[in-house]
Amino acid sequence: MSETIVALATAYGIGSVSIVRLSGKDALATSLKLLKLSNLEPRYAKLAKIYSLDDEILDEAIVIYFKGPASFTGEDIVEFQTHGGVMVSERILNELIRAGARLAMPGEFSKRAFLNGKMDLAKAEAMQGLITSKSEIAAKILTRQMQGDLSKFVGEIRGEVVKTLAFVETMIDYADDDLPANLLEQTKQMLLKNSEKLERIAILSEQRRGLIDGFKIAIVGKPNVGKSSILNSFLAYERAIVSDEAGTTRDRIEENFKIGSHLVRIIDTAGIRKDAGKIEQIGINYSISAINEADIILAVFDGSFASDEQDKEIIKLVSNSNKKAFFILNKSDLAFKFDIELEGAIKISAKNDTSVVLKELEGYLKTQDTDEIMLSSNRQILSCKEASEALKRAFLRLSEEELEIFAYELNTAIKALASITKPFERSEILDEMFSHFCLGK
C-alpha cells in the first residue's frame, strides 16, 4: 500500500459538487503540487485555486486534508471538493495522476481502511449495502451494522469459542486428566446456544433477504387470465402488451416499483399451459424459473371460467414452492364461475382496480420488517451456517471426549466467523490463556 491512489468519490456526471479523493503517504505532497501552497492544516476546509502542472487554472474549490491515521483509510487523505460536472473533476483527476498518484481500483479505499484496522469486513459490506439499499428498513438494518451491531454479535460468539479452544488445547497436553463435569456441561450448553443463535440469524436473513436486495414478486397463471393487465395497473402505464390472443407474453417482463417503503421487482411471466409451441414453451420455462426465484407469488386465475386441470397444476406448483403466495381471482366484473375454493383469495377486476392487491402486498411486506440483526450478504449467511454446523459437530465430539477432533471443529467455526468480521490470529488463543495470570506474572 505504498502507492498514493486517487479516484472520484462522487457519482460520475453532472451535479453541484464533485469530490476527488487521494489516499496514501504522498497524498499531501501530491496535492500541494496543484495548489501552489506550502502546507494544509489538517481538518480545516481551505478555499484554494487548483492549477495544472502547466500552471493553467483548473478550478477554485474547497480542499480538506485528513492526516493519518485519523482518516477513513488510516492514511493521509486529501479531498478536492470541486464544482460539479464531468470535465472539472476529470481534469483534476488527470493532473493528480500526472503528479504521481495512481488511479484507484474499485473498492481500494475501503480495502485500505480494512487492512489498516479502520473497519472490519461486516462494516465494509454494510457500507456498500447502504449505498445500494432499496428500502427504508434496509437502510436501517445496514446502518446498525455500520455501528457495529453485527460485529458485536459475531465477536461475542467468537470470544466464547476462542476461550473454549484455549482451554481445550491446554487440556490436550494433559490427556490423562478427565474434564471437570461442570465445565463439560457448561461447554456443551455454550456450543448448543451459539449454534442455535447462528442458525437462527442465517434462517432469518435468508427468509427476509428481500429487505436488503428488494423483494421479487412473480405473477403467474394460465394465458389470458389478466397477468399483464395487473402489471400495467400496478405500474400505472402500459408496460406489457395486452391481447385476447393466448400466448401474447412469451418472455418475462421485469420492472421495479415501490410498495409502501419497499422497492420491489415484479416479474410478469408467460402463461403456463400444456399445449404451448416451442418458442412459447421457452417462456413457460422462464415462468417456472421465476417462481423459484421469487419471494412472493401472485397466482392469477380467471374467475369467469370454471377451473380446469391446468389451474390445478398451477395451484399445486405454487403450493409446493413454499413461497408466500396470493391467489387472485380476476375478472370479477363478469359472472363468477371458478369452482376451486382458495383460502384468502382476492377477487378483482384488473381493468378497473388492483389497489386491494397492493394493500395486501404492503401489509405482508410490513410484517417482514425487523429490528433484529440481519446478515447483508449470501457470503455472511453461508459463513454463519458453516460455523453453526461446526459447533454442532464439536458438541458430538466433546460428548465422546475426542478432544483433538473437538478442537479441530472449534477452529473451523472460528475460521467461518472470522470471514464475517476480521481474520483469526493464533495470538488470540495465547491472549486468552495468559489473561488469567496474576497481574505481576
Binding-site entries for GTP? 224-229, 243-249, 268-271
Q: Report d(CA 300, CA 166) in Å as an integer.
A: 59
Q: Say if strands 57-66 and 46-51 run parallel, antiparallel, or are unpaired.
A: antiparallel
Q: Which residues are annotated as a binding site?
A: 21, 79, 118, 224-229, 243-249, 268-271, 441
Secondary element (H or E) of residue 287: helix 278-293
DSSP secondary structure string for all residues of 124-152: HHHHHHHHT--BHHHHHHHHHHHTTHHHH
Q: Report d(CA 300, CA 64) in Å as an integer.
A: 58
Residue where the block lists cell 465445565: 183
Q: Report d(CA 75, CA 423) in Å as an integer.
A: 21
Q: Which residues are annotated as a binding site for (6S)-5-formyl-5,6,7,8-tetrahydrofolate?
A: 21, 79, 118, 441
Q: Report d(CA 66, CA 19) in Å as an integer.
A: 14
Q: Report d(CA 281, CA 265) in Å as an integer.
A: 23
Q: Tell me which residue of 365, 376, 222, 232 sits closest to 301, measured CA to CA.
A: 222
Secondary element (H or E) of residue 385: helix 378-399
Q: Tell me which residue of 2, 51, 50 sits closest to 23, measured CA to CA.
A: 2
Q: Report d(CA 78, CA 4) in Å as an integer.
A: 11
Q: Tell me which residue of 348, 343, 346 sits closest to 332, measured CA to CA.
A: 348
Residue type, 423: P
**Are the CB atoms for 336 and 304 separated by under 8 Å?**
yes
Q: Report residue 393 as a C-alpha cell.
A: 459437530
Residues facing residue 23 across a β-bridge: 5, 77
Q: Which residues are annotated as a binding site for Mg(2+)?
A: 228, 249
Q: Report d(CA 23, CA 109) in Å as an integer.
A: 8
How much is the CA Rg of the chain, to the nearest whole Å? Answer: 29
**Are the CB atoms for 300 and 310 separated by under 8 Å?**
no
Q: Report residue 217 as a C-alpha cell.
A: 414478486
